[in-house]
Amino acid sequence: MRYLTYSGNNILSVDLPEGSNVLYPKPPIRGIPLSAYGEHVKRCFENPLGMPPLKELVDSKSRVLIAFDDNCQPFPLQAQPDFRQLAIEALLPMLYSYGVQKKNLRLICAIALHRKMKEHELRHMLGDAIMAEFYPHQLDNFDAEDKARMTSLGKTEAGEEVEISSYAVEADLIIYVDSVQIPLNGGHKSVGVGLAGYKTIAYHHHPEMTRECPHVMQPDGSRMHESVERISRLISGHTKIMVIEFAMNNAIYPWYNEFLGKAPSASNPLDKLLQSATPASMKLLPETARRKVMRSVPGAYRPTAINAGSIDAVHPHTLTALRDQLMIDVPRQYDTLVFGLPDLSPYAVDARVNPVLVLSDVLGYVFNWFYNKPLIRRGGTVIIMNPVDEVFHPEYHAAYMRFYDEVLPSTTDPFEMRKRFQDLFAYDPYLIDCYRNKYAHHGFHPFTVWYWATYPLKYLKNVIIVGPEDDKACKRLGVQWAADINVALEMARGDNGRDDVAALTLPPFFYINVKG
């Protein structure tokens, strides 16, 4: 059985055992056209869910904070114009017409502990007009380490300390513009995480959250999301929050690349020809050319639903819309998962995927993309196809490089690394300076992505990587290496005694719903 998949910046055609189940996403649900965004946004603010209309929430004295996601979502990057530009361009005239003064407006990119966005990235997202009107004095990245602009709000009923941006506390109204591509995002996670400091985020981004419960990628049954909600509700007691959520479809590919995510049953003769020819064509290109090709494809997303109002009223509509797009029913669990990871990650925008992200993106993200239970049985095997190049972006991944060189040689156990290394990285003056002034992810960030793999690291019997020339990186990551896919499948067969394989065709994204 042939399986078209990624491996870094390459596209491969892989032989799987007969009877393997290759899973494909649903076709994109038709989204709202760009030309209609403005009118939809206006109607949403005039008729919000669970809140009075926007015009009743503001006046000439109101201080309004407009917060928005960074370029981690939607991912990969959206083609211009970005939905945030169109939404804010529709929102600003409404605020002005209701008497809000420009001097009382602030726009902030809610990066949490992600790297700050550069000026050209903000311009790509927001457009020239918004940048000219507000940047840099009233438009900037959130800075979790700017102690002069952080406020402590006390503790939740569970004892979580809540440290949040002072701009959020001082605002009479926060309007959060949120694209929601997967159920992980949106809802209480918007302000509660996006504008929070290390001390607060550390309460829910730690391995205890997923020791026994795997859910981080959706709110149902998730200890992490329960903590986030408690924090968000404490913040809501100090400032009013209105969200506008865009539930995105899964149209990652523009029309000319759609064949990469199509099932054979949905492919026309041209699609099948391209599916057959692409692996050989990519093999002829040098690595630098393949990398350029992979990064030149803009996302073609469109929202299938747009709603504004209170978090509790809006987010359930978003989750329902996402479920309609993302949910794939699977009849049972499998012994072995095969997945080819491209050289793309929401934490490696404009960068290569480093070895830490290879493991965390598959075990922390892809493994957890399910609604009721994992696609793989307990004691099963995950085979990752990726070259695992030991490359780290010198600006963005300074903390990741040290994590790889200093933490992983000592331990791959999430609980031990939390005890021995987490605060050393989080409070390291050099890493704090890198985060604040050099566009690096926070010193704590590589720990957060590793912690999300806590459950699968315990649940699985084996993780095997195919793609590196030798086992050096795999040993550092604490997983096994195979010279090729056939060797990996043989190793999995030895673990489980049979060929019982499922493979994922991602992107576009989807979530598994195991029936029975």
pLDDT in tens, 323-332: 999 999 999 9
pLDDT in tens, 39-68: 999 999 999 999 999 999 999 999 999 999
* Distance (Å, whole) CA 463 – CA 456: 9
Provide the 10 A C-beta neighbour count for residue 279. Answer: 16
The CATH class given to the 34-248 domain equals alpha beta
Cα radius of gyration (the chain): 22
* Distance (Å, whole) CA 269 – CA 258: 13
DSSP 126-172: HHHHHHHHHTTTTEEE--TT-GGGEEEEEE-TT--EEEEEHHHHH-S
Q: How far is CA 401 from CA 19, 392, 396, in A?
A: 41, 6, 10
SS3 content of the chain, % helix, strand, coil (to 5): 40, 20, 35
* Distance (Å, whole) CA 189 – CA 238: 17
pLDDT in tens, 245-286: 999 999 988 878 888 888 888 899 998 888 899 988 888 888
Helix (H) or strand (E) holding 94: helix 83-97
Q: State the alpha helices, DSSP H only, in 171-296.
A: 189-194, 198-204, 223-236, 269-284, 287-295
- The pLDDT tens digits along the chain (516 residues) read 889 999 999 999 999 999 999 999 999 999 999 899 999 999 999 999 999 999 999 999 999 999 999 999 888 888 889 999 999 999 999 999 999 999 999 999 999 999 999 999 999 999 999 999 999 999 999 999 999 999 999 999 999 999 999 999 999 999 999 999 999 999 999 999 999 999 999 999 999 998 888 888 999 889 999 999 999 999 999 999 999 999 999 998 887 888 888 888 889 999 888 889 998 888 888 888 888 888 777 888 999 999 999 999 999 999 999 999 999 999 999 999 999 999 999 999 999 999 999 999 999 999 999 999 999 999 999 999 999 999 999 999 999 999 999 999 999 999 999 999 999 999 999 999 999 999 999 999 999 999 999 999 999 999 999 999 999 999 999 999 999 999 999 999 987 778 899 999 988 999 999 997
Helix axes 37-46, 83-97, angle to 10 degrees: 50
Q: What CATH number has the domain spanning 2-26+268-296+331-514?
A: 3.90.226.30
Model's pTM, two decimal places? 0.95
pLDDT at 131: 98
Per-domain residue ranges for the chain?
A: 2-26+268-296+331-514, 34-248
DSSP 1-27: -EEEEEEBTEEEEEE--TT-EEE-PPP
* Paired tokens of 388: 């695992």
pLDDT at 63: 98
- Running DSSP on this structure, what letter comes out for residue 395? T
Share of the chain above pLDDT 90, in %: 85
Tell which phi-psi region holds residue 374, choosing left (phi > 0), alpha (psi between -120 and 50) or beta. Answer: beta
CA angle, 221 as apex, 211 and 453 as ends, to 5°? 35
Please enumerate in sequence order all residues whose Cβ is within 8 A of that of 75, keeping only pairs 6 or more positions apart, or say none.
181, 299, 344, 346, 349
Q: How far is CA 66 from CA 92, 100, 143, 243, 244, in A?
A: 10, 13, 15, 10, 11
Please enumerate in sequence order all residues whose Cβ is within 8 A of that of 238, keeping only pairs 6 or more positions apart, or say none.
153, 169
- Running DSSP on this structure, what letter comes out for residue 342? B
pLDDT at 353: 96
